[in-house]
Amino acid sequence: MYKSMISAVLFLITINLFNSCKESSKAAEERFKRPIPMATLESIYPSGDLVIPSHSEFTKEHYPERIAEFMSDPLQPNDIVFMGNSITEQGGMWNEKLDKHNAKNRGISGDTSEGVLARLGELVYFKPSQVFILIGINDLFHNDINPENVYENIVKTVDKLNKESPQTEIFVQTILPTTSVDLVEKIQITNQLIKSNAGKVGYNLIDLYPLFRSKSEFLNMDYSYDGVHLNEKGYAVWVNKVKPFVK
């Protein structure tokens, strides 16, 4: 008899907890269905007059333009986000590439690790289910930015997301090779830092570099149209690599 009573009580507690979770989830969904006040949007995204020192003159104009686009079409909870620079932005419709309606493109041409760090407010607010980060090549074009600087910003990005959006699964991807002799060693050092610390500081590793490398450590031109950016064949290789990780 006592066992039956205990079982009944436990059953009722379970049902109540289940219903409570359903109500919380539903309330969250309803909150994001309502229009987001402009004041809230302005607090989530970088201001239009923000200047990132590591940005080129082109990116200093393009960055706020892309931020305005993101504000007009914000993320939603549980989205899958691709975060990066022109290589990500030129990927276009990631939802179509991955056959996932909630895969969103958050690439900004010319962006650097510093620029990504400055625009994490959107991710922290909407709490995507996954974020795939590919960043750093534009940093390395600067003589005064070294691989350690790039990796430090990547770690800061990961730490902020883990702290303020702990349910978000984070993937850091290794930097792609280019055809620039001056960048070979910088890219290799940065990638080694990314690979050797994966799992230690709260991110999963996706090693893209070997897939695009020629025997001479340059970008395989079968996958590129200019020695830095990818062609459609290159994007197909990238998508094939990340697809198994996408929920």
> What pLDDT, on a 0 to 100 scale, did the predictor assign at position 12?
46
User: What are the extents of the domains in the chain?
Assistant: 1-34, 36-245
What b/e readout covers 127-143, taking b as 16+ CB neighbours within 10 angstroms? bbbbbbbbbbbbbbbee
> What pLDDT, on a 0 to 100 scale, did the predictor assign at position 69?
97
**CATH number 3.90.1010.10 is the correct assignment for the domain at 36-245:** no
CA 187/CA 206 separation, integer angstroms: 15
Q: How far is CA 16 from CA 7, 20, 59, 163, in A?
A: 14, 6, 52, 29
> What pLDDT, on a 0 to 100 scale, did the predictor assign at position 92?
95
CA 117/CA 152 separation, integer angstroms: 11
Q: Tell me the per-residue pLDDT of 45-59, one tens digit each, with 9 for 90 and over.
A: 999 899 999 999 999
Q: Report, in this order, helix, strand and coil percent for the chain, each rounded to 5.
A: 55, 10, 35
At 77, list the tokens.
């909870």
Cβ proximity of 174 and 217 under 8 Å: no
Q: Name the DSSP class of 133.
A: E
Q: Tell me the per-residue pLDDT of 148-164, one tens digit each, with 9 for 90 and over.
A: 999 999 999 999 999 99
Low-confidence ranges of the chain (pLDDT < 50): 1-3, 5-28
Q: Tell me the per-residue pLDDT of 15-33, one tens digit each, with 9 for 90 and over.
A: 444 444 443 334 445 555 6
Cβ proximity of 187 and 137 under 8 Å: yes
Q: Is 0.75 topped by the overall pTM?
A: yes
